[in-house]
Structure formats: structure tokens, C-alpha cells
A and B are shown apart, each in its own frame.
Chain A
Amino acid sequence: MRVRFYFILPLMALLLTGLPIRSGAADNPFHLKEGGRGKICLNCHDAFQEILKNPYVHTPVKAGNCAGCHNPHTSDYGQMLDADPKDVCVRCHAQLLPEKPTSLHKVVAEGNCVACHDPHAAANKFNLRKAGSALCFECHKEMGERLKGNKFKHAPVEQSCTKCHDPHASAKGEKLLREDMPAICLKCHDSGKPAFQKQHQNFPVDKARCTSCHNPHGSNQQSLFYDKVHSPFAKKNCSQCHDAPTSSTPFKLKAQGAELCRGCHSAMVNEALLKNRLHWPLLDRKGCLNCHAPHASDQVGLLKGPSLVVCGQCHEDTVGRVKTAQSKHPPVVKGECSACHAPHSSDQALLLNQPSVIDVCGKCHDWKGHSTHPIGTEAKDPRNPNLFVTCVSCHRSHGTDNKKMLLAPTQTEMCTNCHKAYGR
């Protein structure tokens, strides 16, 4: 018993005296001098003295711990960072991102935290480079411009984008919304109020997507409807298309697909159906709603979005080609798909809006002055007896990696494709 006591006592004494020493060693494994983690960095990087006068200083900077993010000796990364820029911030701020985000801010996904935050010090809370929505509008310029022109403004938008959007990621909603639709709207807008119900014709819209009618960023229409409003919707003639709000299926459509729209747009639908080639989604179960918004939209023709987005939702490869192409066709870049294609139907393959490719191109290009190369029905394509030379014999209309949207990288390769005698 006595022996054991004499054994335990020195062990405890050793632990008591050794612990601080060990903990100090772990905290300072390289036995750095006072200020060695960063304070002495300011001896050379004296410009930081000014920056650090900002009211919001990053915690490790405030603690004089430059080595929290930078490696003082060598680094594989820019700014002598201690790790990949994608990982440096996450080492301490991982809790900002949900485990399974529904939506993620692009800059966050790219690890480009410094796009919004100054990693050293800033005049704004959270080390933000700019205060409020002004920071968001640095990238989302178009949105910023559009908000300025709105006649009717949405109060939370005037306060800050972060009222509705989480700037990093959202676990619950698309587009970084803090809650999914319609929950986020119902936090402020009480659907139980009689006035709310009256405005919505007693339809149970608390189960619908508010943004199918309202522009949450503001608009030039009352009730924040999108700028282009479908006439029956504007007149509150909901029952023209939907079952009664008191029915068991209040949102059910009275007819399916294009049949519903044909009730008013019969001339347009009939004209489309008389052509030999149909844009087939027009006759599927969604019909016109594949491309058009039934209530309101900020696009001409009540399109669900800009043409590039609407057409690109199915024709991703065609729209995508112009993004990577070195030479681009301006109408495609601008999303003017209908400059060449008839979106509902046509008598031509690929739904071209003119009888011949040459006519399509001729709407913008004076090809007779463009080249002395013969094109048209008299100019047989030597590669194929059933083809004649047209613009697309040499050019690809959605863009290529060659200049002037040519199909081959050099003029020689282009010409000798047909003129074999001149090939080497």
C-alpha cells in the first residue's frame, strides 16, 4: 500500500508539472519567438497597419495570427496561403454550409470567399467588402439595374437581399432562399387574412408557388405581378382555366395541354397544326406551358424565361455550343432563336422559318455581296448528289471553334473538302 502511494505521488506531480509544458509545445511546436505567428509580419507588411484600423477585423488577424491562413515559409498557393483557397476558410467556417444544400452560391462552391469578404479587415460587419445589397449588385448588375426602375417595390428587397436569400447556401430552398416557396412568403404574408383570400379569389394559394404570378423583386404592375400579365389573369377570370376554388381540385385545369389555350388562341394553334412539322412539345401533356407562363411573366409573349433559357431547357447541346464556340452567331448569343426558327411549327426541317437555309441567312446577310462562291440550287455539292451548296455547307450557324463559324480550322481544309484536286 505504501509502495503504491509513493509510486502514484511522483506520477501526479509529474503530470501536474508536465501538462502546461506539453500544452505549450503543442501550441507552439516550432518554439516561435513572441509575435512569430504574425505580429512580426507587420514589420515588412506595414500597409496592413492602415487596413487593420477598420472596425471589423478578422479574428486570427486581430490575434496577430497571420499563420492561421498563410504559410510564412513556402506555399503552393497564391498569397502564400497555407492551403487551397477553397479550403482555407472552411477550416474554421464549415458550419456556414448545410450538410446537404439544396442550392449553393456559385462563389461559395468555387471557394471564392474573398469575392465578398475581406480576409483581413473591412468597414462592414462580417468583413464584407460592401454593405447591404450593393455588394450583391457587383455581380448581379442586371438585377440591380432592374430594381432601380421598378415602380412597385418589395419592402424586404429594399432592405437587403439577405432577408430572403442566404448568401452562402440554403438547405431548404432553391436560389439560396432561406425557406422554400411558399413558406418564405407566408412568413410575412398571412394567408389567413380575409383580404389576402379575397385578393386571391379564395384559391388556396398558400400551397402554390407565389412566383408563378408575382415578381418578388418588384415590378411595374400592381400586386407585384410580372410586367406582362395574361389577360384572363389580369381580369381575375381564374375560372376560365381552373376548376372553382371551392371544388376538391381547385387548381385543376379545365383541359389538358394546348387544348386549354386553344379556347382563346385557336387561330394560333390551328395555324401551327396546319404545318407539316410540329414542335412536338406543343402537343404533349404540358403543351404551351412547356415554354409559356400562364399567369404573368417578365418576357415578351409570356415566355417562362429568356429564350436561351426556355429553348436551352431541352436543346442544351445547341445552346451550349455557342457558349464554348470561338466564333459565335450573334442572334444565338442574344437568344433570338426565333430569328431563324419557328417555335411552334414549320414546313421545314429543324423548324426553320424560311423555305431554304439561304433564305434564312439572307434575312440578315447580303450573301450575294459576301462571296463569289456560287450557292443555290444550281451549285451542286460535289460531296453528295442530293445537296446543293448553301451557307451551311461551309458555316455552322450556332458557332464553331473556327473563325467566321467555318466548319474547318483553315481555309485550305475548308475548300479542299469539296475541291479535292487542290488538296495536298
Chain B
Amino acid sequence: MLRMFAVFAVLLVGWLFIPATAGCDQGIMFQHLTSLYADDKGQALLQPEGVACDEKQLVVADTAHNRLVQYSIQTDGVKGGKQLQMPQLVAPIRVQLNAKGEIFALDGKNRRIVHLSQAGAFLGNIEVKGLPAGGALVPRSFKIDRNDTLYILDIFSGRVVVCNAQGEFQRQIPLPKEFGFFSDLAVDRGGDIYLIDSVNSMVYQASSGGQSFAPLTKNLKEYMLFPTCITTDNKGVLYVTDQNGGSIVLLGTDGAFRSRKLAMGWKEGLLHYPVAMCVNGNGQAFVADRNNNRIQMFR
């Protein structure tokens, strides 16, 4: 009788947990929750190209309006939509949040990283201190990890620059010798760095503390056309935004293809030239659906 009870208990536990675990491994399921079309004053978004999120807030780079828009995140949607606009930030194209909820945005016109408080006050530009001489820095993208370390993709000098929260140079990793064009980078919880090559549809990886990048995947053109953004969640899934293909491609951190989600279109749940995506710890994802002038929220 006792043995039967034990078997029943094991089966019950298995039944309860196995589907949940399997779901986690697959990453975001991309069930559409809501779409954001405007700020809290009703001004429409126009060609948004960047999103950053944590469990509390979502910040959108409303690129064609030269502003950021800040929302607070609810379980199944968002609230608010405070406009953050300042002369120091033009055509923002990438946004990131640090552990304190402070905002960092890449100014697409002036190609500099602007630092704002959580409330949206301008704090200054990121000037990397102690950068090795001889190479100017042109940031194409950047990411901030959970320790507030800043990783800057510098296309001019062909490297990823790593600096601490104070902007002090820590190290640099040269880009590989042969590649098409790198548009974005991602950093996972273990500190491994990933680069997305838009031209060759390939992902490169440098291990945590590593000194060089190596191909993580082969050419992925059968799954994506022109990827422009790469991000990761805390469950070992890489999300690649395929701008020209209007979809999100999920890869494992070992580079294995997992799935392709969403498709090109205008209706909610479809994408038209998506350019960026973020995922938070609650398993919520936000996609900058640029040519649809909106942000879409999924889980």
C-alpha cells in the first residue's frame, strides 16, 4: 500500500512539473498580450527601434520622435507612458536598464550612450575612461549585464569594449577577422557574449572572460533573412530578431536552432520590420515592431 502511494506521488510530481520545465526550456511562447501604440498623452509611437525591460518598467526608444517612453509593467499589460525627451538624446536606437532601473540609451545620430536616472533625468554621456589609445569608439549597440557591466559593440575599432558601472575600461575583445556586419550583442547570465552578424545570419560567441569570438552557429539563412538584434533570457535561450523576415528566431546558447516565432504582417501578433526585443525575469517579452509603429507584448 505504501509502495503504491509512493509511486502515485512520484507520478503526480512528474505530471505537475515536467510540462512546466519543458515550457521553460522552450523560452517565451509568444502568446500576444497587448500592443502599445502611444504614450500616456495619446501621442502615437513612430518607428520605435529599441526596448528595454525589467520586472517593473519598460522603456521604449521612440526613434522617429527623438524620445524615450517609460511604462510600468503589469501582469498582463503595461500602464503609463511617460515621455522622456531631452536635447541630449536624438534618434535613440538602443535602450538598456541597469540593476537600479537607471536608463541608458544609444543616440543614433550622435552615436553616444546617454545615461538617465530612473525618473528620466539626464545624468550625462558614457565616456569610457582608460580606453587604449589609437582607436576611436563608434558604438553600434550595447548591453548591460546584471552586475551593471557595460558591453559596447564598437564597429569602428572592431571590438567589444567592456567597462564597469563607473565607465572605467576593463577589457576589450576584438571582433573576428572575417564577418559580414555586426548589428547587436547579448550577454547571458554566465557572462558569455554573443554577436549577431546581420549579413551572414551567424551568431558568434566569446566565453566569459574569453579573449576572442568564435562562430557559435553556421549560416542560419534558412531560418532568418536579416537579423538585427540578439537578446537572451535567464533560461539559456537566445532570441534573434529577424528584421526582414518579420519574426523571432529562438536558439539555444549552444547555437542550436529551436524555433521560429511570429510572421510578417500588420495585425496584432504579427511583425513588420521588427528591430529589437527584450525579455524580463517574469517571462514577458516586448518587441519593437518598427514599421507597425508599435511595441508588442508577449509571454
The reply to whether the CB of A202 lies closer than 8 angstroms to some CB of chain B is no
Complex CA distance for A256 and B199, rounded to whole angstroms? 22
- The answer to whether B140 and A384 have CB atoms under 8 Å apart is no
- The answer to whether A384 and B267 have CB atoms under 8 Å apart is yes
Residue among B108, B140, B183, B292 making CB contact with A386, cutoff 8 Å: B292
User: Nearest Cβ distance between residue B20 and chain A, in whole angstroms?
Assistant: 35
Q: In terms of DSSP, what is the predominant structure of the interface of chain B?
A: loop
User: Nearest Cβ distance between residue B197 and chain A, in whole angstroms?
Assistant: 10
Complex CA distance for A327 and B198, rounded to whole angstroms? 27
The reply to whether the CB of B244 lies closer than 8 angstroms to some CB of chain A is yes
- The answer to whether A285 and B158 have CB atoms under 8 Å apart is yes
Residues in chain B near residue A275, CB distance under 8 A: 109
**Within residues 260 to 292 of chain A, which ones have a CB less than 8 A from any CB in chain B?**
274-278, 280-281, 283-285
Residues in chain B near residue A90, CB distance under 8 A: none
Residue among A284, A381, A383 making CB contact with B181, cutoff 8 Å: A284
Complex CA distance for A318 and B108, rounded to whole angstroms? 24
Knowing A276-B91, A386-B45 touch, does A284 contact B156 (C-beta < 8 A)?
yes
Residues in chain B near residue A316, CB distance under 8 A: 199
- The answer to whether A317 and B266 have CB atoms under 8 Å apart is no
- The answer to whether A381 and B138 have CB atoms under 8 Å apart is no
- The answer to whether A386 and B37 have CB atoms under 8 Å apart is yes
Residues in chain A near residue B63, CB distance under 8 A: 276, 349
- The answer to whether B37 and A285 have CB atoms under 8 Å apart is no
Residue among A281, A315, A384 making CB contact with B226, cutoff 8 Å: A315
How many interface contacts (CB-CB < 8 Å) are there between A and B?
79
- The answer to whether B226 and A387 have CB atoms under 8 Å apart is no
**Within residues 155 to 170 of chain B, which ones have a CB less than 8 A from any CB in chain A?**
155-158
- The answer to whether B181 and A314 have CB atoms under 8 Å apart is yes
- The answer to whether B293 and A277 have CB atoms under 8 Å apart is no
The reply to whether the CB of B128 lies closer than 8 angstroms to some CB of chain A is no
Complex CA distance for A259 and B156, rounded to whole angstroms? 10
- The answer to whether A314 and B180 have CB atoms under 8 Å apart is yes
With both beta carbons as reference points, the residue of chain B lying nearest to A398 in the complex is identified as B244
Q: In terms of DSSP, what is the predominant structure of the interface of chain A?
A: loop
**Within residues 302 to 326 of chain A, which ones have a CB less than 8 A from any CB in chain B?**
313-318
With both beta carbons as reference points, the residue of chain B lying nearest to A388 in the complex is identified as B293
User: How many chain B residues touch A (Cβ–Cβ < 8 Å)?
Assistant: 40
User: Nearest Cβ distance between residue A279 and chain B, in whole angstroms?
Assistant: 10
- The answer to whether A280 and B157 have CB atoms under 8 Å apart is no
Residue among A278, A285, A350 making CB contact with B157, cutoff 8 Å: A285
- The answer to whether B226 and A280 have CB atoms under 8 Å apart is no
- The answer to whether A317 and B155 have CB atoms under 8 Å apart is no
- The answer to whether B290 and A349 have CB atoms under 8 Å apart is yes
Q: Mark A160-193, 1 if CB is under 8 A from B, else 0.
A: 0000000000000000000000000000000000
- The answer to whether B292 and A384 have CB atoms under 8 Å apart is yes
- The answer to whether A280 and B47 have CB atoms under 8 Å apart is no
Complex CA distance for A276 and B66, rounded to whole angstroms? 9
User: Nearest Cβ distance between residue B267 and chain A, in whole angstroms?
Assistant: 5
Residues in chain B near residue A393, CB distance under 8 A: 266
- The answer to whether B109 and A276 have CB atoms under 8 Å apart is yes
Residues in chain A near residue B198, CB distance under 8 A: 314
User: Nearest Cβ distance between residue A253 and chain B, in whole angstroms?
Assistant: 14
- The answer to whether B293 and A285 have CB atoms under 8 Å apart is no
Residues in chain A near residue B64, CB distance under 8 A: 276, 349
With both beta carbons as reference points, the residue of chain B lying nearest to A314 in the complex is identified as B199
With both beta carbons as reference points, the residue of chain B lying nearest to A284 in the complex is identified as B155
- The answer to whether A256 and B91 have CB atoms under 8 Å apart is no
User: Nearest Cβ distance between residue B256 and chain A, in whole angstroms?
Assistant: 23
The reply to whether the CB of B238 lies closer than 8 angstroms to some CB of chain A is no
With both beta carbons as reference points, the residue of chain B lying nearest to A384 in the complex is identified as B266
The reply to whether the CB of B111 lies closer than 8 angstroms to some CB of chain A is yes
Knowing A285-B156, A315-B226, A349-B47 touch, does A277 contact B108 (C-beta < 8 A)?
yes
Complex CA distance for A383 and B35, rounded to whole angstroms? 13
Residues in chain A near residue B225, CB distance under 8 A: 317
The reply to whether the CB of B52 lies closer than 8 angstroms to some CB of chain A is no
- The answer to whether B244 and A283 have CB atoms under 8 Å apart is no
Residues in chain A near residue B245, CB distance under 8 A: 317
With both beta carbons as reference points, the residue of chain A lying nearest to B268 in the complex is identified as A384
Complex CA distance for A384 and B38, rounded to whole angstroms? 12
Complex CA distance for A65 and B68, rounded to whole angstroms? 80
The reply to whether the CB of A20 lies closer than 8 angstroms to some CB of chain B is no
Q: Mark B118-156, 1 if CB is under 8 A from A, else 0.
A: 000000000000000000101010000000000000011
Residues in chain A near residue B136, CB distance under 8 A: 259
Complex CA distance for A387 and B290, rounded to whole angstroms? 11
Residues in chain B near residue A314, CB distance under 8 A: 180-181, 198-199
Q: Mark A362-404, 1 if CB is under 8 A from B, else 0.
A: 0000000000000000000101111100000100000000000
Complex CA distance for A393 and B245, rounded to whole angstroms? 17
The reply to whether the CB of A216 lies closer than 8 angstroms to some CB of chain B is no
Other than the known A259-B136, A315-B226, A317-B225, what 8 A-B pairs have Cβ atoms closer than 8 Å?
A274-B109, A278-B111, A283-B155, A285-B156, A317-B221, A317-B244, A383-B266, A386-B44
Can you pick out 27 interface pairs between chain A and chain B where the beta carbons lie within 8 Å of each other?
A256-B156, A275-B109, A276-B63, A276-B90, A276-B91, A276-B108, A278-B111, A281-B181, A283-B156, A284-B138, A284-B155, A284-B156, A284-B158, A314-B198, A314-B199, A316-B199, A317-B221, A317-B225, A349-B64, A383-B267, A384-B267, A384-B294, A385-B44, A386-B44, A386-B46, A387-B293, A393-B266
